[in-house]
Structure formats: structure tokens, C-alpha cells
Amino acid sequence: MSEIKIAIADDSKIFRDGLKVGLMRDERFNVILEAENGSRLLTGLEQITPDVILMDLKMPVMDGIEATKEVKKLYKNIKVLIVTMYDDDKFIAHLMENGANGYLLKNADPDEICQAINAVHENDVYFNDLVSKALLKKLVTKGNVKPSFKPDIQLSERELEVLNLICEERTTAEIGEKIFLSPRSVEGIRQRLIDKVGVRNTAGLVMFAVKNGIVKA
């Protein structure tokens, strides 16, 4: 198994240290960067590139919301997993729509944090009940601002097949095995879907699929 390089952005050194201890239980995880705010994180990213960032929201100088937007603008392949005390649906939906790959609360079980890191690394996104509830609420609440998708989207049979499997939370490898394609080909179709629909990540694809009745909520 390949190593997963991790950065932690959180203004609490005690929390960072505790998180590192929990992560060390998985020999694949290697914490290569720590930062006490978003500004320091961006400075660190100029020198070293993690696979996954564990991002707090409330930090001085630059908070996690702004830092997530900047990371996604500058480093397309870095996954951002929000780890915070805030469980507000609006925060969750806003961050997922703006490129976050998953959202966890700080009281999450250490096993769930490890599971989430693996999920975003392998499959671009981690959906838990918190995220699913927030995104679906965003879709069904009357008067809410609906997520915007490109108009007149036409998907091929193969693209629909891959989209359905993504919504089943299958990994790239599992999708490839199911439809007899290489993981690289599956990633190509996933990116084509993201471009066609006009969303930022897999979370946007799932919202599109639910909104348009391609899959059931």
C-alpha cells in the first residue's frame, strides 16, 4: 500500500498532537506538515505537497473556509477533509460545494477519521450522515439557493453508469472492476462528468444525480 501524506491545519497544538497519535496507528499515514492557521498552511504548501489536509475551520489570520478555497484554487489534486466543532448544515453544504472532500466533527471516532482519510484519497469524497443530511437538506429546502449546474447536460450510457456507481460510494478501483475499465479510464470519466455538469468535485456530482432523479436520495 502506498503512503498517504497528511497535513494538519489547526490552531490547537494539543489537538494536532492528539490527532497525530491516532493517525500513527495506520502505518500508511505520514504527517508531513502542521500549521496553526490557513496562512501558515499555504506557506508550507509552497515547499511540500500532502495528499490530504485535515482542516479546522476556526483559526486566526486565515480561517479554514478561506484556506480551503485557496488550496482548491492552487492545488487541484490535494484533498481537504474538514475536521471541526461546527455541525451547521449551511457550513457543511457551503464547504462541500466549494471543493471540500469530506466533513467530520472533532468528536468523531479515530477509526472514522482514518476511514475518511482513506476514502478521500481513494475515492475523492467521504460521505457520512452529517454530509448527506446537509446536502440533501440544501436540495429540498424551499426557498434555498439551489446548486447551479450547466444547462442541457447530455450524459452517455457509460457516464451514467459511472455516475450511479459513484453515488453508491464505490472506489475508482471497484468501479473499474465492475465495468471492465482501468482506474485511469474511470478517473477520466469522473473528470469528464465534473466538467460537463459544472461542479467542483464528486459531492457536486452526487447532488446533481439526486436533484435530477438519476439516483434516489
Whole-number pLDDT of residue 216: 60
Are 133 and 162 contained in the same domain? no
Total of domains in the chain: 2
Cβ atoms within 10 Å, residue 1: 7
Judge whether 81 lies within some domain: yes
pLDDT of 123-182, one tens digit each? 888 877 677 667 766 665 544 545 567 878 889 999 999 998 888 778 888 899 999 999
Are 121 and 168 contained in the same domain? no
Helix (H) or strand (E) holding 7: strand 4-9
Judge whether 206 lies within some domain: no
Q: Could you tell me the residue range of the domain that residue 105 belongs to? A: 4-139
Are 76 and 171 contained in the same domain? no
pLDDT of 78-122, one tens digit each? 999 999 998 888 778 888 878 899 899 998 888 889 989 998 998
Specify the CATH number for the domain of residue 191: 1.10.10
- Rounded distance, CA 166 to CA 205, Å? 9
Whole-number pLDDT of residue 40: 97
Specify the CATH number for the domain of residue 41: 3.40.50.2300
Q: Using alpha carbons, list the distances in angstroms from residue 186 to 177, 191, 203, 216.
A: 10, 9, 17, 22
Instruction: Give the predicted TM-score (pTM) of the model.
Output: 0.74
Judge whether 22 lies within some domain: yes
Whole-number pLDDT of residue 142: 46
Judge whether 88 lies within some domain: yes
How much is the mean pLDDT over the chain? 87
Are 131 and 168 contained in the same domain? no
Judge whether 42 lies within some domain: yes
* Helices within the chain (DSSP H only): 13-23, 38-45, 64-74, 89-97, 110-123, 129-140, 157-167, 172-179, 183-197, 202-211
Higher pLDDT, 215 or 156: 156
Are 170 and 86 contained in the same domain? no
Cβ atoms within 10 Å, residue 143: 5
- Rounded distance, CA 185 to CA 143, Å? 39
Are 166 and 112 contained in the same domain? no
